[in-house]
Amino acid sequence: MPISPARVAAFDILLRVEREDSYASELLHASRYANLSAADHGLATELVMGILRWRSLLDKYIAERSSQKLPRLDREVLTALRLAAYQLLFLDRVPQRAAVHESVELVKRARKRSAVPFANAVLRNFAGIARNPDGVSAIANAKTAPELAEDSAHPLWLVERWIQEFGFEAGKQICVYNQRIPEAAISVSDATIADELRKHKIQLSAGHLLKSAYCVTAGDLTGTRPFREGRVVTQDEASQLVSMLVGEGSKILDCCAAPGGKTRTLAGRNPNARIVATELYPHRARLLRRLVAAANVQVIAADARKLPTIALFDRVLADVPCSGTGTLARNPEIKWRLKLEDLADLQGRQLAILRSAMQRVSPGGRLVYSTCSLEKEENSAVVEGAMSVDSSFRVLDCRVELERLRAHGELRWEDIDSLTSGPYLQTIPGVHPCDGFFAAILEKI
Ligand SMILES: C[S@@+](CC[C@H](N)C(=O)[O-])C[C@H]1O[C@@H](n2cnc3c(N)ncnc32)[C@H](O)[C@@H]1O
């Protein structure tokens, strides 16, 4: 019996995520998998994301049934075991025999025939195991950081940091949020697009945070004409909110711009502004150009630390590269890759980009520094580091801007206090129904 295309795709993608540091969500949308049927693509997505979300818990179950220590296993063998374990533990519609048989076939396909008896033995030991399709319900009982980390399949060091920063309950809410499939949000500047999407059988509900946002509750958005024509894109509501904090300007610089969600929002809200969008990697700059076709946006492949312009801008956005710990529901592989030591390296880059961006702000102009990280090293510490060596800026209170957006009916979320931490914006996944974003507004005096 051949292995199903969905499992082959999931297996290959999981291996590439480990070998190449690639992002699963990008690989799943690569042209190589465009020929999968909708059902196979759906199953491949469920397997890849589910296994990345629950990896440490799956490994615990495998280790309890294995005669060998997991670090000694070949990557291909461990990946095939994780695939089977995920289906046996979390998917109640997949027959046990199919899950086991196809994983063993994947071991053979990977030319690891000598590991076949071992894989069979491990998976036999799963016989009769109770399925638990709602893995998150167990997280509610966690009383300590180690229990929370184990039950929610997160590295302990991250969980401990979040508990220290946000408290135990918020830490738990973050972990629960990260283990669920997040809603897809879209930004819609023109209400007719929402009507058009509904005609394509896309079910939409009102955005949680923003009036211009909708959540996709059912239907395949990617198959619709507005999506294929680039008239609608998915963008988390917190990301949309960050671009709104940039406000209105006539000359705008977006200096870490790809893939371009925020540039797109900036262009939509500032149709008469001249917008320069820079991105370090040329291939990502091309992606940005495709996503943001607006004539008033100039795309340049450039390093934001050495911007190729001496022009000044009245609005600047520095949405810097970061750890992405606010996006683990969408990018669960990050939690297994990130090391505490990486934060110092990221901070160095972020500080260099912020300081360079500050040079490009005109007097009276504003700069928004943002990340999708929950880690203070990448957030307040970077802002404070930059402010300590440049007294020509002051930090504005984000609350004022949030209240303005609320007064204009653009911000739907009522509890503005919960969105702020000191003068900064900080959304927390699970506490808020969106990714975790940080933003600071700096004004050039
Ligand atoms: C957080 S993402 C930006 C997301 C984007 N603002 C959006 O909303 O779609 C950071 C981007 O900065 C780019 N980048 C990394 N280092 C950079 C640098 N030194 N200069 C410019 N861009 C950089 C990354 O390639 C990545 O595309």
Domain harbouring 374, CATH code: 3.40.50.150
Rounded to the nearest whole angstrom, what is the distance from the C-alpha of residue 264 to the centroid of ligand 1? 14
Query: Catalytic residue at 372?
Result: yes
Q: Structurally, how many domains does the chain consist of?
A: 4
CA–centroid distance, 155 to ligand 1, in Å, is 26
Cα(300)–Cα(306) distance, integer angstroms = 12
Decide if 132 is inside a domain. no
Three-state SS at 312: coil
State the amino acid at position 115 in one-letter form.
A
Shared domain check, 276 and 326: yes
Residue 190 is assigned to a structural domain of this protein: yes
Is the same domain home to 52 and 174? no
Mean pLDDT score across all residues of the chain: 95
**Span 343-379, pLDDT tens digits:** 999 999 999 999 999 999 999 999 999 999 999 999 9
DSSP state of 298: E
- 381 located within any domain: yes
Distance 15 CA to ligand 1 centre (A): 25
Question: Residue 76 sits in a domain of what CATH number?
Answer: 1.10.940.10
Same domain, 171 and 204: no
Domain match, 318 and 339 both: yes
How would you class 429 by CB atoms within 10 Å of its CB: exposed for 0-12, middle for 13-18, buried for 19 or more?
A: buried
**324 CA: nearest ligand 1 atom:** 1
User: What gap in Å lies between CA 200 and CA 179, rounded to an integer?
Assistant: 29
Same domain, 275 and 423: yes
Residue ranges around ligand 1 (CB below 6 Å): 239, 256-262, 278-281, 284, 303-305, 319, 321, 353
Nearest residue (CA) to ligand 1, atom 12: 256
**312, 414: one domain:** yes
- pTM confidence score: 0.96
Cβ atoms within 10 Å, residue 423: 17
Domain with 369 in it? 237-444
The reply to whether 129 falls in a domain is no
CA pair distance 191, 185, nearest whole angstrom: 15
Among the residue ranges 130-139, 295-304, 305-314, the one predicted with the least confidence is 130-139
Measured in Å, residue 381 CA sits from the centre of ligand 1 at 19
Whether pLDDT at 133 is above 80: no
Express each pLDDT in 34-79 by its tens digit: 899 989 999 999 999 999 999 999 999 999 999 999 999 999 999 9
Atom of ligand 1 nearest to the CA of 243: 8
pLDDT at 327: 98
Q: Is residue 147 in a domain?
A: yes
Residues 216 and 245 reside in one and the same domain: no
Residues 6+ apart with CB under 8 A from 216: 183, 184, 185, 186, 202, 203, 204, 234
Residues 147 and 203 in one domain: no
310 shares its domain with 372 = yes
| pLDDT at residue number 130 | 84
Pick the catalytic residue: 215, 322, 372, 434? 372
Residues 62 and 199 in one domain: no
Is residue 421 very low, low, confident or very high in pLDDT (cuts 50, 70, 90)?
very high
Q: Confirm whether 130 is domain-assigned.
A: no
- The answer on 207 and 161 residing in a single domain is no
Asked whether the CA dihedral 215, 221, 226, 232 is positive or negative, the reply is: positive
- Same domain? For 433 and 299 the reply is yes
Could you give the 3-state DSSP secondary structure of residue 367? strand
Domain-located, residue 266: yes
**Domain-located, residue 341:** yes
